[in-house]
Structure formats: structure tokens, C-alpha cells
Chains A and B, each alone.
Chain A
């Protein structure tokens, strides 16, 4: 595409290669971004997008290949050099400091920050000009995720970048917040700023981007104009094979398995979210998807379901049995299993082997201990079963959980719980960081579990996944859970409104819809 329209590219990468011990993250990657172009970098988790971006931003240096900015060689050794050359970056996992103010955070990301007073004025100017309202004096810890992202964008804009890199910017936003951000990006592009937009969300790339480079396994596998492609076509380029349509869920709910009634939990200080008056019932065969923007009470919900946070005994029941006052181990004995989001240190003990990690949660239900003694033979067989059934890639069962890649450990911890045949299964972000094939295995196992009479609750920020997997959908916002409604009756717009906190009238409307 380069030079095809007769205009010189603003940024060009030629044959970039970057290897880490054991893995080639980028191999012969070439692409170019035109002036004022919104260019998508598309690929699955682990396709090498983040490494590529880190090289452009000077966090890492390529082993081979070269980069050109405005036709001149460009090899930043530090982020400061990249910023000085006109590269702005909005990070996926925000590079923000919670205990500092908005202005201090902005100042830290600038090469030559003006004095505090002048900086606050400029923050106000830029945020007004691009519709990104921000209060410079507030502490970041008090802000919502959407507001935090605005800080990153404003910080990048204050340095008048030529190329703005956005790393998965919408993964933490509601659909409405994302639409607002798209408006900002289009305005910037119209002013001549080039944007490198990294995502694996196909619809937003089709709506926003002028060109796309597709990465798979560290290599460029395709270039296209996303506006001329279907989402399905883009997905197949990204995954490298044809997609199978998901099986239509055959949903016949049975007897109530889990009931939660008027459950309120105060939030842990200083930034925790309080759960307010949660009530719902899960029947056998239900898969309840809980959507919502991160930080709206998901962590607290998982903790109160697992028993890490205790509740009044009657507020949570399995069948008719009150279990709210019980801790995790006793809840496991009664059939409630939980796979939390944070894999290392919460779902698994990082320095213990896979066998030992199997014992940690499977001790009771999988019979891995007898009269206070561990049954290592049984534990090994159990762990082996999980590894083979879920396709966990590991050097051996005696290796520390830490040594597994994120996606593989995720398969292991989810599989470990499902193999214990829970009555009620609560899982947070079941396929986060897992490749497409393995994600399908995990989703299939969750479906089978529900089909065989368990009740499942899936907490995820991936709306597409929830729409595909769950039978019931509800949204958590500000610590409140909306009334669960059958997924096939929901529209993405409704969910988006609820994710943004919604209006008070919304639950009524949805209640009517349900009736």
C-alpha cells in the first residue's frame, strides 16, 4: 500500500524482529501509517501487537529492522525520545498513579512539563477542545475507568503528537464511552494526526479505521481496508482458519440451585465498591453472564460468592441451605466452586506445582486428601486429567504454576474447578488471554457443565463472549446488579446503557420486556 496513493507515509516499519528467550514476538513485521490515517493493528492476544508498540514507543528495541518517521530513520532508546519525536501513547493497562492528582499524572508523562498552574490551564483547554472533561486537581484513585483513560489521552495530546498509539482503548469502556472516544479520534485524524489503533474488536475497527495490518504469531498475515471487509472475514484473517458457528444453546432451566437475597456488602477501603442489595436466583442449567465495566463491583462479587468475604447466612443459599456465613472451603464442600480472575496469587499459588495447586481447591471434592494426609497419586491423576482435557501446555506437572503462560494457567485453573463437578460454578473472565481454540474448549466445558445440571455465573468484560455463552444476562454497575433477562431478548444498546449506570427507569423497562 505504501506510496500507492502518492502520499508519503508518516510512519513506516521495515522488517522488525524482536525475540525473547523461547519466543519470537515479532518476525519481519512491516507496515506503514499515512498522515491523518487511523490504522488498525489487528491480532489475537499474544500475536505480538504489544511488543511491536513497545518498540515504537522506545520501551523495547528491535533486534533487527528499522523504523522511519516522516521518512527519516527513527530508533528511540527511551520513551522520552519517542515522545520528543512526536509519538503519543495511550496504554492498555493504564500507566497512572492512583495516589497522585490528574495534573501530576499528566506532568509525569510529559518531557518538559510546564509549571503546575499553566499545566492545569492547558489540561482544561485540551479537554474542552476534544470533549474530554477532566478536573486537574482530583486524585486518580477516585476516578472511573473512563475518566482515567481521558487522562492518558489528554496527556498524549498535550504534546501535539504526530502519531498517537492507542493500545486496546475500548476494552474498559462502555459502548457509549467508546463512541465518544471514536468521535475524539476522528476529530484528531481530520486535523492530520495519525493514529495506530490496536484492538481485536472487529466491529469497532470496521467502524473507525482506514487501513489495517493483521498480525498472527508475530508475523504480518494480511493487509486490508477494514471498511471493505466483513467482521467474519477479519476474524478469519486474525485467527487463520474458518470460524464455526456457536451451537445454539438448548436451555431448559431446572430447580433453583443458588439464591441470593438482599445481599449487601460494604466496599473495602479506600477504592473498593460496595455491593448493594443483590437478589437473583440461578436454576440448574442457567448460565448467568454478568457484564460491566471493570471496577463496578466484580471483584467484590467474586469475593462474596467464594466466601472470602462473609455475608449474613441467609443472604446466599445453595438449594435451601444458607451458606452466606461459610468460608471458601465449606462452600466448596457444598458444591459452590469459584475461579477468580487473578490467576497468579489468587486462583493459583505461583510457586507451587500444578499437582499441589490441584490439591489446594480439589482436596475435598476430588478426594485428594484422606484423614489429613495428601494423596499425591490421586492428585497427579487429577492434574493430568485437567492438563490433557483442556490442552494445557506445560513442561510437566511438577513445574511451578508461575512457569505457565497466562493463557495456559487460565485453562488449568478453570479446568481444575470444572473437573470437580460443581453444583454452582462462578468464574471471572474465563477466557481472558486464552487463544481462540482454547477459549472454545473452555466455553464448551462451561456449556456442558450447565447442561448436566449445574448453575453457572460468568463475570466478564467481554460482551461478545457473554452474548454467545450465557442464557441470562445482567449488568453490574456501581455495585448493583440488574435483573437477569434471557440473553436472546437483549440488545447491545440496552447493555451499554446499563453498563454506564443506566437510568432508574431502565430495570422497569427490562422487567416489562421480560414479562
Chain B
């Protein structure tokens, strides 16, 4: 094994690229769950965002339009989820799982003509002088716009939840929907808004995969990242800063795994591919073991349906 083949700067860059889609999806789901809704359809919304973004990007050549289309596609799927769970009162877990399967199917169908195509919509930041600096140049100033957007969103979500009135109402709805209703807050409306935001963010996360990371369309290319995003939200104890940490941690596991494979470490590659998911399960088990903490952090109404009868 030749460790000198590992370039720390390249490793860090690939870490950021692996973490960004996870961060988008996790932040979206974090807001959804804070409002008391458990949407297990993140994987489905991501893949729909991926194909929506890729197709638009390929046809228009614009990164911005691609991202916007991805957000819209994710939101459309989320709107379906919101209609089912908030108005038709279907079970959130079952609906979320169905949403994932449905999203994977729809994306595969819509992506038939795009399979194997590649595109280059660019979008990388390039500031003469700054980007050319050794080490910090590429690390700080050499990314595409979405990386900066994802970090900005982490800050925005944190500010929203802790500092804004709307964020307080959102948390209140997730904590005790009956009380929120009694005081006069529109529980359903808040939740629908949170679900749509979650969909848009998952869609953008998917678009990052198809437009920037690979950039090509392959059926099922999200490969379980939606599930990892869900795990990150629990890992983060529903806190934006820890979601950021979690996304980079889980992204890091993926990168290490890929690099070890590239280095030809004498382990069967399947074991390495398993690693991120195995780590996810272990981390979740460790976090859930402390029941006291788990109950304090989790929104008390998470996954519970709200009937506005009384």
C-alpha cells in the first residue's frame, strides 16, 4: 500500500464533495422533523431531484436552472407526501417508504433517455490569485456555488430555528401540536411548509450528485444517501451544527472507503462499500442507547398525526 499516493488537499476536496448532498438533504429533513413530521421519503425526493436537475441542466446548460428544477421536483414529491399525511391522514412511515420507492421508479422512467450521458455546467468559483493559492486556494475558493450554498443553509437553518419567531412556532408545533392548535397556530400549514422545504432541499442534494459530483445520470445513483441523511438528523439530535458535522463525518467515511479501494487494500471491495452504512447503524445504536437524551432532543410529536377535531 502506497500512502504517498494520497494527496491531503485532494482528499479534503473529495470529502467536501461527498458531504454536500448529505448536508442539503439532512438540513431539509431536520426542518421537517422539527415540525413533527417524519418523512422517510428523502431517498425518493433526492433521486427525483437528481434526474430533474440533470435533465434540465443538460437541456439548458445552466446550473442554476438545473438546481431550481431539482428543488421543484423534490417539492412536488414532498407535496404529495404532505397531501397524503396532513390532509388524508395516512400513516407517515408507510407513506414515506412508499415515496422512496415511487421516487426511484419515477426517476428511472424519466431518466431512460439520459442514461450514461454526461454534462458540464461548470459553476466552480475561480478568483484569480485566491484560487491559485496553494492548499487554501482550492480548499476555500475553488468550489462550485452549491458547496457555499449548503454551508449558508446550515447557518440559515440554525438562525431560523433559534432566533426567529417563525422558527419558534415551528418548534412549538413539533413539540405539542394540540397546544399549538389551542393557542391558535395553523399546525397543518406549518407542517406542509416544513415538508415542502424538506423536499426542495432533498431535491437540491440530489441535483448536486447528478450535476456536480459525477456529473452524469445513472439509475439509482443516490445509492442510499437519503437514508444516511435521515440518520444524520438523529445523529445531530435535531441541531443544525451537528448536522453539518454529521454530513462531513459520514461523507468522510465514504471517501476513506473509496480511497482505500483505490489504494488496493486487501479487503474485498464489498466490505468497504458497506462501511458507511455499517457506521450509520452503529452510530444510531450508540445515540439511541441514552434514552434520556434521545427523548429530550427529539420533537415530542414526531411522527404523530394531528387531528384538528377539538
Q: Chain A residues in contact with chain B, CB under 8 A?
A: 58-59, 78-80, 83, 91, 94-100, 104, 107-109, 113, 141, 268-270
Contacts and interface: CB of A to CB of B under 8 A. Distances in A.
B165 A113 contact: yes
Contacts of A269: 291-293, 295-296
Interface stretch (B116-124, B170-178, B225-233): B170-178
Contacts of B110: none
Contacts, number: 60
B165 A97 contact: no
Given A58-B184, A59-B182, A91-B182, A100 B295 contact: no
Closest 9 CB pairs of A and B: A269-B292, A79-B184, A95-B179, A97-B175, A95-B182, A270-B292, A270-B296, A80-B184, A97-B176
Contacts of B182: 59, 79, 91, 95
A100 B179 contact: no
Nearest to A82: B184
A109 B182 CA distance: 10
B169 interface: yes
Best-buried of B171, B172, B180, B291 by chain A (most CB within 10 Å): B172
B168 interface: yes
Interface residues of B, number: 21
Contact of B300 (A58, A98, A104, A107): A98
Given A269-B291, A270-B295, A270-B296, A100 B183 contact: no
B120 to A, nearest CB: 47
B184 A96 contact: no
Contacts of B172: 97, 100, 104, 108
A348 to B, nearest CB: 19
Contacts of A268: 291
Interface in B270-290: none
Contacts of A58: 184
Nearest to B186: A78
Contacts of A59: 182, 184
Contacts of A104: 168, 172
A91 B295 CA distance: 25
B179 to A, nearest CB: 4
Given A78-B184, A97-B172, 12 more contacts: A59-B184, A91-B182, A95-B176, A97-B180, A99-B175, A100-B172, A108-B172, A109-B183, A269-B292, A270-B292, A270-B295, A270-B296
A112 to B, nearest CB: 10
Contacts of A109: 183
A252 to B, nearest CB: 46
A95 B299 CA distance: 16
A303 to B, nearest CB: 15
Contacts of A80: 184
Contacts of B291: 268-269
B296 A96 contact: no
Contact of A96 (B169, B176, B295): B176
Given A79-B184, A269-B295, A270-B296, A94 B171 contact: no
A99 B239 CA distance: 14
5 contacts: A58-B184, A99-B171, A104-B168, A269-B292, A270-B292
The main secondary structure of chain B at its interface with chain A is helix
B303 to A, nearest CB: 15
Contacts of B175: 97-100
B179 A97 contact: yes
A78 B180 CA distance: 12
Nearest to B168: A104
A510 B169 CA distance: 49
Interface string B107-142: 000000000000000000000000000000000000
A330 B175 CA distance: 37
Nearest to A60: B310
Nearest to A83: B184
A270 B294 CA distance: 9
Contacts of B165: 107, 113
A98 to B, nearest CB: 7
Best-buried of B165, B171, B179, B184 by chain A (most CB within 10 Å): B184
Contacts of A100: 168, 171-172, 175
Contacts of B184: 58-59, 78-80, 83
A109 B181 CA distance: 11
Contacts of A96: 176, 179
Interface string B151-192: 000000000000001001101100110111011110000000
A113 B185 CA distance: 14
A338 to B, nearest CB: 24
Contacts of B300: 98-99
Contacts of A98: 175-176, 300
Best-buried of A95, A99, A109, A141 by chain B (most CB within 10 Å): A99
A19 to B, nearest CB: 14
Nearest to B175: A97
Nearest to B163: A116
A151 to B, nearest CB: 12
Contacts of A79: 182-184
A300 to B, nearest CB: 15
B208 to A, nearest CB: 32
A270 B296 CA distance: 7
A66 B54 CA distance: 60
Contacts of B178: 95
B168 A107 contact: yes
A108 B296 contact: no
A104 B169 CA distance: 9
Contacts of A270: 292-293, 295-296
Contacts of B169: 108
Nearest to A59: B182
A118 B295 CA distance: 31
Best-buried of A78, A80, A95, A107 by chain B (most CB within 10 Å): A95
A113 B296 CA distance: 26
Contacts of A78: 184
Nearest to B238: A99
B24 to A, nearest CB: 26
Contacts of B296: 99, 141, 269-270
Contacts of B171: 97, 99-100
A92 to B, nearest CB: 10
Contacts of B185: 108
A211 B291 CA distance: 50
A423 B299 CA distance: 42
Contacts of A97: 171-172, 175-176, 179-180
Best-buried of A58, A100, A108 by chain B (most CB within 10 Å): A108
Contacts of B176: 95-98
Nearest to A108: B172
A94 B168 contact: no
Nearest to A96: B179
A91 B185 CA distance: 16
A141 B295 CA distance: 11
A376 B299 CA distance: 42
Contacts of A99: 171, 175, 296, 299-300
A94 B179 contact: yes
A268 B294 CA distance: 12
A268 B291 CA distance: 9
A80 B168 CA distance: 17
A107 B183 CA distance: 11
A267 to B, nearest CB: 10
